[in-house]
Structure 1
Amino acid sequence: MTKYKLEYIWLDGYQPVPNLRGKTRIASEAPKSVEDCPEWGFDGSSTQQAEGHSSDCILKPVALYPDAGRPNGFIVMCEVMLPDGTPHPSNMRATIIDDENAWFGLEQEYFLFRDGRPLGWPKDGGFPSPQGPYYTGVGYQNVGDIARKIVDEHLDLCLAAGINHEGINAEVAKGQWEFQVFAKGSKKCADDIWVARYLLSRLCEKYCIDVEWHCKPFKGDWNGSGMHCNFSTEYLRTVGGKEYFLKLMDAFEKNKDEHIAAYGPDNHLRLTGLHETQSIDKFSWGVADRGASIRVPHSFVKNDYKGYLEDRRPNSQGDPYRICSRVLQTIAEVPTE
């Protein structure tokens, strides 16, 4: 009799960045939807989500993905619940603002590490040649001998899982890569990013490589890692207008500190104003300006300020549930009439 492997994954209670956790449930039938996946439990005292004297936590399945990395496999994305059925305090997904007409595209950057150093960096503790040829680079000198194999395999796993990848590329620093995920609805996009992170981390196990999600693993003249947030609402796509856009930018500037707080820890190491974006204590927007807090595409301006915008401040280790929610909170402050 065929058995099916259901990998229940969830976010633990570590702060400021939660870790992905997972354990396998064996089923006699393949689930056709997430409703076919029963609730399960785990020991929250081992994940900083409960005390030892009352350690039971509940896994509530919320999304189902095919898992091409395992025969007869599925990934079950879960929310963590308390025994009384209410969301656990660490459960950011339960509080997310969600709107299927709000579209999000997140650009997840990361480093591939071996023995504590990015792939391709000298083992003696030195540094590679300066940044320049690595972004979208080709050839052993630029990308090495294994990274492309990993990112291509990860892409295939994500596509098989139904995650809408829109692209992958080598990034500005040596050993740094990026994948982009687009989805309609903030909850869907955030789920997909977490599952894609899980698939990449699990894949790298067999190559004896770690994924470094930290936004600035090396100080100095090296790019950090972001998770640029491209977003649009139905109103931005269909009505827009310069007057509305300027009011929206005023709201983003007013809420600058709240956005930084939601966009991931240690951003002060990355948002220096020297590399990817505006410094952490300022807000700016600009057309095709990668040094701005929010980059506005040429197409947006040409189309009478309609389309999507790119917030460049979220960082690579940020929680996409919090990031998308913060964006939608600020948008909701601006009247559309």
Structure 2
Amino acid sequence: MGSGRHAAEEGTNVSYKAEYIWIDGTEPTARLRSKTKILPDGAELPLWGFDGSSTNQAAGERSDCVLKPVFVCPDPIRGGDHKLVFCEVLLTDLSPHPTNTRARLSAVAERFADQKPIFGIEQEYTFFKDGRPYGFPSGGFPAPQGFYYCGVGADEVFGRDIVEAHLDACLAAGLEISGINAEVMPGQWEFQVGPLSALDVADQLWVARWLLYRVAEDYDVAATLDPKPVKGDWNGAGAHTNFSTEAMRTGWDPIITACESLRERRQEHIDGYGAEIEHRLTGLHETAPWSEYSYGVSDRGASVRIPWQAEIDKRGYIEDRRPNANCDPYVVTRLIIETCCTALEKAGQV
């Protein structure tokens, strides 16, 4: 499981730490893993290996898997010249591992690159402390929802110090974070990544998730992407996904075409938008039922919302409100590109 041989081969001219981060094979929701490699000054980031039998990605008798760096940024936790290295997982023949959803997105994004699709993802999450949401009293519940969303004050907001530390870490890493806000349930927050291309937004979202977990460690608080962290009359946690193509950014008809195309492949999208989605998409708490599809202008109770500005300007973007907080952004962006860009191509609206 270790990598002492590689360190010995590279000598002792140590300059920086490279934190290799990857997505494991845990089902139904994958987890992030990471480990540190020490590299000499000026060294390129090499392929690296890990024990796939310990990450649900290989059998013990053939346990080796390969890490291929695909996104590198400064490490804001360690500072200095240290790096965060986000990786794809490969088999030992250097083909994509079956759990490598990034490889599938890459092929689709390349196919439809001429339509210039871009995304912004709103990542909701919930802090937990001592087995309950941060801000929930021991043995009971806080006041009902109503004042927590974008609230201010110690009786309405919980975990702001962690959120600010995470935001600063993301900015120091050079991630395209476009905002943060407190969400509807106590201890629940959101950050937004983008607008970016599909690969960039997904890469950066995964790194921002890793930083969220890592920063929260220092406060002895856990961050979860559970889509329904508290049962009952409490909001779930989603990853609302904003999307447009060049044609949508310049005209109204392509927006309607995209919305209609999502109706045609409704179940495929629901299946790919995160585990236990039916617990969150109930038709309550600003959701549409998972078994139905709808879209509308300024409608947060619809599956897909068209912003009011888009209707006025007759151009813009759409917001798919169905993806769960625990979704794989490589899968979500791939499905949206495949569905919408194929429909726009067929309609001659590219």
- Map 1:178-217 onto structure 2 (within 5 A): 178-217=190-229
Aligned length: 327
1:113 to 128, 139, 147: 128
In the other structure, the counterpart of 2:54 is 46
**Shift, 1:30, TM fit:** 5.1
Letter in 2 for 1:181: V
Task: Verify the 8 A CA contact 2:14 2:38 in the aligned structure 1.
Answer: no
SS at match of 1:163: coil
In the other structure, the counterpart of 2:334 is 325
CA RMSD, aligned part only? 1.3
SS at match of 1:223: coil
1:254 to 246, 259, 264: 264
- Map 1:25-44 onto structure 2 (within 5 A): 25-29=37-41, 36-44=44-52
In the other structure, the counterpart of 2:32 is 20
Q: Distance in 2 between matches of 1:333 and 1:200?
A: 35
- Map 1:1-337 onto structure 2 (within 5 A): 3-29=15-41, 36-71=44-79, 72-96=81-105, 97-98=108-109, 101-124=116-139, 126-144=140-158, 147-238=159-250, 240-242=251-253, 244-304=254-314, 306-334=315-343, 335-337=346-348
Task: Verify the 8 A CA contact 1:4 1:30 in the aligned structure 2.
Answer: no
**Shift, 1:153, TM fit:** 0.7
Deviation string for 1:88-123 (max 9, x for gaps)? 000001110325621100000000000111111011
Q: Distance in 2 between matches of 1:22 and 1:76?
A: 9
TM-score (norm 1): 0.94
In the other structure, the counterpart of 2:8 is none
Letter in 2 for 1:265: A
SS at match of 1:259: helix
**Shift, 1:150, TM fit:** 0.6
Letter in 2 for 1:278: A
Q: Distance in 2 between matches of 1:184 and 1:193?
A: 11
Q: Aligned in 2, Cα 1:30/1:218: closer, same or farther, shift over 3 Å?
A: farther
Q: Aligned in 2, Cα 1:247/1:232: closer, same or farther, shift over 3 Å?
A: closer
**Shift, 1:2, TM fit:** 5.7
Please list every run of 5 or more consecutive structure 2 residues that lacks an aligned counterpart in the other structure: 1-12
SS at match of 2:229: coil
Task: Verify the 8 A CA contact 1:60 1:79 in the aligned structure 2.
Answer: yes
Please list every run of 5 or more consecutive structure 1 residues that lacks an aligned counterpart in the other structure: none
SS at match of 1:275: coil
Letter in 2 for 1:301: E
Q: Distance in 2 between matches of 1:142 and 1:252?
A: 37
Q: Aligned in 2, Cα 1:143/1:241: closer, same or farther, shift over 3 Å?
A: closer
In the other structure, the counterpart of 2:10 is none
Deviation string for 1:165-210 (max 9, x for gaps)? 1110100001100000004210100000000000010111111110
**Shift, 1:218, TM fit:** 1.2
Identity %: 49
User: Which aligned segments of 4 or more residues in structure 1 are displaced greater than 6 angstroms?
Assistant: none
